[in-house]
């Protein structure tokens, strides 16, 4: 890896950026450095990069790779951060990314959330799991996202001491951007967690007894993000909310595990909860992120068209 990228990685860690964020930044920068060296025929040096070079890279991402504007914007944001750091670190005099504009993104629809009927279908699908241990765990995981709005990563990282049944709270210690937040526990979530803890406590597997994590798999002491996503996809398929193409891939634009969190936010907005409170409960940095839940969903727009 280029020594500039190693220094930038050290700076990101010093800024207490999350591992996922660091991986994303470095992936974009490695892609840019590789493209630069192949295009320019010389080693990547920050001082040799111009605004036009960055604009060409933006065109490459959109035209050659066919990336969506939102994905391109994330790459440009990464490069802006990198070159801003390079200026502060004394590697370059001027920031070539400063004048590179983001691509305008037209948001067609709001995030996909579940209607009341769809939620009921999902909850019914949970009842089809015959393994009592898995059913109690899976129900508690779904409810943690549906009634507390946790991200998949946050659910995976939940530890036993992060939930307080008596006080009725769920604590996210290290959410997105390192945010700490406490979410009051909905009664349905409290019942689901009590049931799960009873099954978890009765497990005679040493790996479960020694694990500090709230959600465990049958073979491991922690449910991974990937494992949770796969599990929720199974239930979404069972109730007809997720379909796959012939090659087994999920068809784009359908429901996913993130839809549960979106449903939590949308229900709060529909209940008249002030947008600032919704943002705080969801752990949003930017109030504009929360404002998406005020927008009509694809289902709402289709319903409006059918009403003509």
Give the integer Cα–Cα distance in Å for 9 and 54.
21
In residues, how long is the chain?
308
In 220-275 the beta strands, taken as DSSP E runs, fall at none
What pTM value is reported for the model?
0.66
Residue extents of the structural domains in the chain: 3-88, 116-306
DSSP 8-state secondary structure symbol assigned to residue 251: P
Name beta bridge partners: 170: 163, 183
Residues in contact with 29: Cβ distance below 8 Å, sequence separation at least 6, in sequence order:
5, 8, 78, 79, 82
Q: What is the DSSP string of 33-56?
A: HHHHHHHHSS---GGG--HHHHHH
CATH code that applies to domain 116-306: 1.10.443.10
Tokens of 97: 């990314």
Which residues of the chain are under the pLDDT cut of 50? Answer: 1, 108-109
Yes or no: say if 128 and 238 are a contact pair by the CB < 8 Å rule: yes
Q: How high is the pLDDT of residue 79?
A: 92
CATH topology of domain 3-88: DNA polymerase; domain 1 (1.10.150)
pLDDT digits (tens, 9 = 90+) for 204-215: 888 888 999 999
- Tell me what pLDDT residue 138 has: 96
Q: Are 148 and 164 in contact (CB under 8 A)?
A: no
């Amino acid at each position: 890896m280029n020594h500039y990228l190693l220094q930038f990685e050290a700076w990101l860690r010093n800024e207490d950026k999350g591992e996922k964020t660091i991986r994303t930044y470095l992936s974009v920068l490695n892609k840019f450095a590789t493209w630069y060296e192949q295009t320019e025929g010389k080693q990547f040096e920050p001082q040799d990069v111009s605004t036009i070079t960055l604009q060409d890279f933006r065109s490459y991402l959109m035209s050659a790779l066919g990336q969506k504007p939102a994905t391109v914007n994330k790459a440009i944001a990464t490069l802006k951060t990198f070159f801003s750091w390079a200026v502060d670190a004394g590697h370059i005099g001027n920031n070539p990314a400063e004048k590179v504009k983001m691509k305008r993104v037209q948001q067609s629809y709001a995030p996909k959330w579940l209607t009341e009927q769809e939620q009921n279908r999902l909850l019914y699908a949970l009842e089809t799991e015959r393994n009592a241990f898995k059913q109690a765990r899976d129900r508690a995981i779904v409810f943690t996202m549906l009634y507390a709005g946790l991200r998949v990563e946050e659910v995976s990282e939940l530890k036993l001491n992060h939930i307080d049944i008596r006080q009725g709270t769920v604590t996210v210690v290290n959410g997105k951007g390192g945010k700490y937040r406490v979410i009051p526990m909905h009664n349905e979530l409290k019942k689901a967690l009590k049931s799960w803890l009873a099954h978890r406590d009765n497990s005679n597997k040493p790996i479960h007894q020694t694990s500090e994590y709230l959600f465990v798999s049958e073979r491991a002491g922690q449910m991974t993000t990937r494992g949770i996503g796969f599990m929720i996809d199974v239930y979404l398929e069972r109730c007809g909310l997720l379909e796959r193409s012939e090659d087994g891939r999920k068809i784009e634009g359908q429901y996913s595990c993130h839809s549960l969190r979106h449903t939590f936010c949308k229900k709060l907005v529909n209940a008249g909860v002030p947008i600032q409170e919704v943002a705080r409960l969801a752990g949003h940095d930017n109030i504009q992120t929360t404002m998406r839940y005020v927008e009509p969903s694809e289902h709402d727009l289709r319903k409006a068209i059918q009403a003509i």
